[in-house]
Amino acid sequence: MGKIIAIANQKGGVGKTTSCINLAASLVAHNRRVLLVDIDPQGNATMGSGIDKNSLNYSINDVLLDEADIHQALLGTQAGYDLVPANDDLTFAELSLMQMSRKEYRLSHALAKLRCSYDYILIDCPPSVNMLTINAMTAANGIVVPMQCEYYSLEGLTGLVKVIDKLRANLNPKLELIGLLRTMYDARNNLTNDVSEQLFKHFGDKVYQTVIPRNVRLAEAPSFGLPALLYDKRSQGAQAYLELADELLKQQEAAIV
């Protein structure tokens, strides 16, 4: 049964969607069956996967509101992973979800139909803690938090950990923080190194050894609807995500008895 991982951070601009797309492609390169679920109304993971978010027959919005089966929304991508896309229709979904019974479990119920078909299901969350994010975290086994090594990111992480603890206590006892991913990393910056040390001090082996550097190719790739692995395989960004996929697989699959 597939492992469901939410890629989440309530702070925007930290490389969340970039990490989701590139990790998905890198897991495929490691011969894993991967599904990416875009649950962000901005639809950036959809566009970054080469799918026009404005020309969808079905999206995750239709699935959450019981207007389509999740199989109807599935799309293939050039990178080899499957995608459940999103667009700004999701902006209004939260209001509708609030009127539904077991509203926190809508995504979990939908993904239950697909879990046996994939090794990993990655969910790209909105940059806030709302009902969509709660649906993602209720569906997930684990959470990966991409973050920059800056002071405000460290403060925001404290708040996110509290949210995870509350959700584990009230909605999803299996939920755990499985990894902190340092993005836009510049080892020449003293603040970067100081924050990185604080992360290891407080979170230990939850901090991935792999770091994602600032990289022009990573920034360019989404405009071509491609992960960096297909845009420029030799780039530092593409290689870093391949290393992250290898580290995540060793972490997750070593735990399987």
Checking if the pLDDT of 142 tops 80, the result is yes
The CATH number assigned to the domain holding 15 equals 3.40.50.300
**Mean of the pLDDT values across residues 81-106?**
91
pTM, two decimals, is 0.95
Domain range enclosing 197: 3-253
Q: Which of 94, 102, 89, 108 is nearest to 2 (CA)?
A: 108
The pLDDT-based confidence of 152 (bands split at 50, 70, 90) is confident
pLDDT at 134: 95
C-alpha 38/C-alpha 222 separation (Å) is 15
Distances (CA, A) of 58 to 84, 85, 105, 168, 222: 9, 8, 20, 31, 22
pLDDT digits 0-9 by tens, 20-49: 999 999 999 999 999 999 999 999 999 999
pLDDT digits 0-9 by tens, 154-210: 778 888 999 999 999 999 999 999 999 999 988 788 888 888 988 999 899 999 999
C-alpha 109/C-alpha 107 separation (Å) is 5
The number of folded domains in the chain is 1
Tell me the CA end-to-end span of the chain in Å, nearest whole number: 13
The pLDDT-based confidence of 14 (bands split at 50, 70, 90) is confident
Whether the CB-CB separation of 20 and 236 falls below 8 Å is answered with no
Please enumerate in sequence order all residues whose Cβ is within 8 A of that of 21, keeping only pairs 6 or more positions apart, or say none: 36, 45, 48, 49, 79, 124, 222, 227
Rg (CA), the chain: 17
